[in-house]
Structure 1
Amino acid sequence: MSSTPRTDAGVSAEPSRRRVLGSIAATAVAVVGWNAVDQTWATAAEAARNPDVVPVPGLVGTLETTPATVEAFANDFGHLFDGDPSKPWAVLRPGHIDDIVKIVNYARANGIKVAVNGQGGTGDDIESHSVYGQARVPGGISIDAKGMSKIVSIGGDQAVVEAGVTWGQLTDAALAVGKTPPALPDYLYISVGGTISIGGIGGTVQKYGLLCDTVKSIDIITGDGKLVTATASQRSDLFNAALSGGGQVGIIVRATVKLVPAPKRAVIFSLFYSSVEQYLADSEKVLADSRFQVHAGEMLRTPDNSGWRYKLEVGATYSTTPPNRTRLLCDLKDVRADAVIEDVSFRDYMFRLDAYEAYLKEGGHWYTPKPWLSMFLPASKTKTFMKQVEQELDASSLGGGFLLFYPFHTSKIKRPLAMMPNESVVYLFDLLRFPNPGEPNIQGMIDQNRRLYDVAVALGAKRYLVGSIPMTGADWKKHFGNRWSGFVNAKRKFDPNNIFTPGQGFFA
């Protein structure tokens, strides 16, 4: 990517009917300014008679305050902070990246909070995919990421995409030229910008790190209203604070993501274990020798629903010659009679959650509140923690959901704000609850999350920014540890007016 920021997102800047937003001719449903005295948005009629109203700059897109719009942007996938207290005052649907620059400058000058809303999903189920209000901006401006969802270019070993592009869109576009992003989330219908802002993890983390570790550069709008390019070597302090920094130092509008050659097919092995001890031993064995290209796993209910067992899900990818299955499995001690082995197209495996999403929607689980618990556990204490988890959780703890659980090397994690336990091998613990419809104990699940989090932290764990864990300012300071002061300095430098992403609660 060029060091000179691009300002042409492929959208014509020619004035249109929508540009009347910044004038007194705006319609009654659109706001035209901010009343700096009583801290409210003003319509055209109010602006005409009130000298305290600061006009909104002219935009290619729209700034909307209709009840239906702000209501939609008050909700997220977790449905734990829905409704009036979470409503933004306005939603920016940018027609051009310059619109975001203008609104950031406007927000800074008028003390208005701003946050990007990823707006992922499929069909009509498009919403923020945060689960604990991380993208909410009460009383502020929510930016619809769908207004920046173009794939700018794909070529060689990289793709340039706007931040609202989903990983599914990028995957299909890359596969069309024989490439793939090296790291992908399990669920592909979430935005690139939102994912790299909190890290992003998937089944190739043991080879490529987090999704943010595959980003070569970002174009980002900082809190002083500047659009700049940042890389690991150019404006590295901004780059490192933006990737896994929870949207605190700027609005990522474009990213250059690495691409690698895509295999044609994958042999997926689902191997089952009756004890956590044997699961851990085999998981760390295949991690150490890198025999598989994909490595994930779960803790899940036994077929008779009487307890827990573990699944090692590993994949060997290929294009022409299938892998030797016997050699890959010869020294593993799973319950071989239960093993399931499938040879599938690479794309089918990448989009494997499509059918599961349909199942969750059909049963109503997709629409329930989601008290998720996401952490990284030090390998040396993982068995101790999981033994307690086995006692704490039951089938109702999952509902229609699942508990992802697998190891990776911390040496693969490059971004400093992606906090990891102080060990060479750690485990992702990702309790993705989809409670049964009508579940009466959602608050109890959140309380349980906090209790398990405290146990895990005492063992040396770190949380992942996804998830539903009540946190205080002191908790966040402890979480970031010796990187806290650097994070605070980056916040002060790049967002001096503290306008970005208040829903994370880092600097509340």
Structure 2
Amino acid sequence: MSSSNAPSRRRVLGGIAATAATVVGWNVATQTWATAAEAGSARGYVAPVPPLDGTLRTSAADLVQFSKDFGNLVKDIVPWAVLVPGSVNDIVKMVNFARSNNLKIAANGRSGTGDDLESHSNYGQAAVPGGISIDSRGLSKIVSVGSTTAVVEAGVTWAQLTDAAMAKGKTPPAMPDYMHLSIGGTLSVGGIGGTVGKYGLAVDTVESIDVVTGTGQLVTASATVRPDLFNAALVGGGQVGIIVRATVRIAPVKERIVVFSLVYDDMAAYLADSEKVLAEGRFEVQAGEMLRTPDDAGWRFKLELGAVYTGTAPARDPLIAGLRDVRAEAVIDDMPFRDYIFRFDAYVDYLKEADYWDQPKPWLSLFLPASKAKQFLHLAQAELTANDLGGGFLLTYPYRTSKLKRPLGVQPNESVAYLFDLLRFPHPGEPDIQGMLEQNRRLYDKAVALGAKRYLVGAIPGMTPAEWKRHFGNRYADFCNAKRRYDPAGILTPGQGFFA
């Protein structure tokens, strides 16, 4: 993925670094940043950078940090500048500046843990080569935590919100499995986790959002106020505006959770039991995984179910009565609820220590119609090997599509669908990353032929505007209308490639 308008890496990292401290404007004629010394004698008009509460950074060190993303699969995505906003008004100013000077601009979540902060897009979706990247960490304030809602800036992570809410006996009802993601970035793609069967995606818990549109206006949108903007910004991949603040629902938190890990050697039994417990609503949390057999000769399944409680623990046997798992291999844990929702942190530590974290990650995330799940999973089993996972894993479990309310979170045309989330962490030095991308494309094409949809994260090469139109289906016309209304100059988030 690259841009014909993007400068060469040498030009960006060499030419701009020396002038980073004194950039005062954009030279329209040369399409480069101008220093104070150059502005008076520059050839052509220099558009002055507006006064900012934060900073506009153009040093090589700053640009390098924004020249790759979590997927580590795309090249030539170096921005020309990084905005670290000191206020929402900085984003308003710089969107207007970008529009006036024909520059692209996009938000970058820069989330993670410790010093490991990065864009968590997987295939260049948040990249803005030759444009302005907005470091969302500049907007990381938890504005308020009330009895039923919390108001947060876009750079706040789900981990930060959860800890603040738990201090008041609350929690977000729908969260991603990896908690150290920015809320603004998550809402741009949906946000899926083990509570999707009960609460939907993270976007389904949003009451309202504040958005800086591509026309440089700061507006509030909700299901009743500017609903076209609300519906196009949530799961809209940053195409109509930059989410700067969100009001999200929170609910009373339970103190503990009983987690049942049930193993299945038979796919049909796994699928039937998964849909059975979903229909009966036995559990607050339901997830599942396709994993290698102990002898690495094939595949089996694990059903993960969570019953939350405060006080007396629920009786265990009735909760899993009638299920056809390999009961001798069942593992049942009782733990603090917070420990469960942060359960991936220890695994992330392992991936970093074993040098998996920085490898290319050809992920594939799909939504399968339940009636075709068995057929597709058989196809996947025939395609995939242990090496295709590396240090990663493959999630697959059902949920009710009626729980997903936001129009652009398009779903298969059935009441129940399955997540198929191939989260690859290739072995260090894996030589065939391109082969994995091509495999993603084959699996995607087979899934679409069965009525599947894709999640906006992940890496599927060769997606065309026509294929995106097919993906969005009857929502596409409204999406296009919102794009024309709220980003008529087409300056926002080019990496998604929905329209060109």
TM-score (norm 2): 0.95
Q: How far apart in 1 are the matches of 2:221 and 2:22? A: 34
Q: Summarize the Cα distance change of 1:90–1:176 in structure 2 as closer, same or farther, 3 Å threshold.
A: same
Q: How far apart in 2 are the matches of 1:173 and 1:304? A: 44
- Equivalent residue in structure 2 for 1:205, among 192, 196, 207: 196
List aligned pairs for 1:181-196, cutoff 5 A: 181-196=172-187
Structure 2 gap ranges (5+)? 1-17
Runs of 4+ in structure 1 over 4 Å off: none
List aligned pairs for 1:305-320, cutoff 5 A: 305-320=296-311
Deviation digits for residues 470-503 of structure 1, max 9, x if unmatched? 2111111111111111111100000011000000
Deviation digits for residues 75-122 of structure 1, max 9, x if unmatched? 11100014xx10000000011111000000111111110000000111
Amino acid in the other structure paired with 1:487: F
- Equivalent residue in structure 2 for 1:159, among 150, 162, 167: 150
Q: Summarize the Cα distance change of 1:37–1:27 in structure 2 as closer, same or farther, 3 Å threshold.
A: closer
What is the CA-CA distance between 1:38 and the residue it aligns to? 2.3
Q: Is the CA contact 1:405–1:428 (under 8 Å) kept in the aligned structure 2? A: yes
Partner of 1:304: 295
Q: How far apart in 1 are the matches of 2:493 and 2:20? A: 28
Q: How far apart in 2 are the matches of 1:223 and 1:355? A: 39
Partner of 2:54: 61
List aligned pairs for 1:135-284, cutoff 5 A: 135-284=126-275
Instruction: Tell me the number of residue pairs that the alignment of Structure 1 and Structure 2 aligns.
Output: 481
Q: How far apart in 2 are the matches of 1:119 and 1:108? A: 24
What is the CA-CA distance between 1:239 and the residue it aligns to? 0.2
- Equivalent residue in structure 2 for 1:485, among 464, 474, 477: 477
The alignment status of 1:400 with 2:391, answered yes or no, reads yes
The alignment status of 1:350 with 2:341, answered yes or no, reads yes
Q: How far apart in 2 are the matches of 1:30 and 1:165? A: 30
Deviation digits for residues 218-248 of structure 1, max 9, x if unmatched? 0000111111110001100000000000000
Amino acid in the other structure paired with 1:86: I
Partner of 1:14: none
Partner of 1:122: 113
List aligned pairs for 1:64-75, cutoff 5 A: 64-75=57-68
Q: How far apart in 2 are the matches of 1:231 and 1:223? A: 18
Q: Is the CA contact 1:274–1:335 (under 8 Å) kept in the aligned structure 2? A: yes
Q: Percent identity, aligned pairs only?
A: 67
What is the CA-CA distance between 1:48 and the residue it aligns to? 2.2
The alignment status of 1:386 with 2:377, answered yes or no, reads yes
Amino acid in the other structure paired with 2:72: H
Q: Is the CA contact 2:204–2:404 (under 8 Å) kept in the aligned structure 1? A: yes
What is the CA-CA distance between 1:307 and the residue it aligns to? 1.1
Describe the SS at the equivalent of 2:480. Answer: helix
The alignment status of 1:496 with 2:488, answered yes or no, reads yes
Describe the SS at the equivalent of 1:49. Answer: coil
Deviation digits for residues 369-426 of structure 1, max 9, x if unmatched? 0000000000000000000111100100000000010100111011000010000000
What RMSD in Å do the two structures reach over aligned CA positions?
1.0
Partner of 1:113: 104
What is the CA-CA distance between 1:27 and the residue it aligns to? 7.0
Q: How far apart in 2 are the matches of 1:321 and 1:496? A: 57
Q: Is the CA contact 2:20–2:58 (under 8 Å) kept in the aligned structure 1? A: no
Q: How far apart in 1 are the matches of 2:455 and 2:124? A: 15
Q: Is the CA contact 1:223–1:497 (under 8 Å) kept in the aligned structure 2? A: yes
Q: How far apart in 2 are the matches of 1:329 and 1:300? A: 21
The alignment status of 1:35 with 2:27, answered yes or no, reads yes
Q: How far apart in 1 are the matches of 2:155 and 2:416? A: 32
Amino acid in the other structure paired with 2:437: I
Q: How far apart in 2 are the matches of 1:438 and 1:124? A: 24
Q: Is the CA contact 2:20–2:59 (under 8 Å) kept in the aligned structure 1? A: no
The alignment status of 1:76 with 2:69, answered yes or no, reads yes
The alignment status of 1:433 with 2:405, answered yes or no, reads no
Amino acid in the other structure paired with 2:181: I
Q: How far apart in 2 are the matches of 1:41 and 1:404? A: 46
Deviation digits for residues 286-317 of structure 1, max 9, x if unmatched? 00000011000100111222211100000000
Q: Is the CA contact 1:33–1:43 (under 8 Å) kept in the aligned structure 2? A: yes
Structure 1 gap ranges (5+)? 1-25
Q: Is the CA contact 2:139–2:244 (under 8 Å) kept in the aligned structure 1? A: yes
Q: How far apart in 1 are the matches of 2:19 and 2:393? A: 47
What is the CA-CA distance between 1:29 and the residue it aligns to? 2.8
Q: How far apart in 1 are the matches of 2:266 and 2:224? A: 46
What is the CA-CA distance between 1:150 and the residue it aligns to? 0.5
Amino acid in the other structure paired with 2:481: N
Q: How far apart in 2 are the matches of 1:303 and 1:313? A: 18
Q: How far apart in 2 are the matches of 1:41 and 1:469? A: 34
Partner of 2:351: 360
Deviation digits for residues 429-455 of structure 1, max 9, x if unmatched? 000000000000000000000000000
Q: Is the CA contact 1:28–1:45 (under 8 Å) kept in the aligned structure 2? A: no
Partner of 1:22: none
Q: How far apart in 2 are the matches of 1:277 and 1:47? A: 70
Partner of 2:497: 505
Describe the SS at the equivalent of 2:261. Answer: strand
What is the CA-CA distance between 1:28 and the residue it aligns to? 4.7
Deviation digits for residues 35-73 of structure 1, max 9, x if unmatched? 112222222222121251100000011101101111110
What is the CA-CA distance between 1:30 and the residue it aligns to? 4.3
Q: Is the CA contact 1:267–1:342 (under 8 Å) kept in the aligned structure 2? A: yes
Amino acid in the other structure paired with 1:501: T
Partner of 1:341: 332
Amino acid in the other structure paired with 1:243: L
Q: Is the CA contact 1:27–1:44 (under 8 Å) kept in the aligned structure 2? A: no
Q: How far apart in 1 are the matches of 2:189 and 2:286? A: 21
Describe the SS at the equivalent of 1:365. Answer: coil
Q: Is the CA contact 2:261–2:304 (under 8 Å) kept in the aligned structure 1? A: yes
Q: Is the CA contact 1:397–1:433 (under 8 Å) kept in the aligned structure 2? A: yes
Partner of 2:11: none
Describe the SS at the equivalent of 1:107. Answer: helix
Partner of 2:3: none
Q: Is the CA contact 1:30–1:64 (under 8 Å) kept in the aligned structure 2? A: no
Q: Is the CA contact 1:271–1:340 (under 8 Å) kept in the aligned structure 2? A: yes
Q: Is the CA contact 2:144–2:151 (under 8 Å) kept in the aligned structure 1? A: yes
Q: More deviation in 37-46 or 459-468?
A: 37-46
Partner of 1:15: none
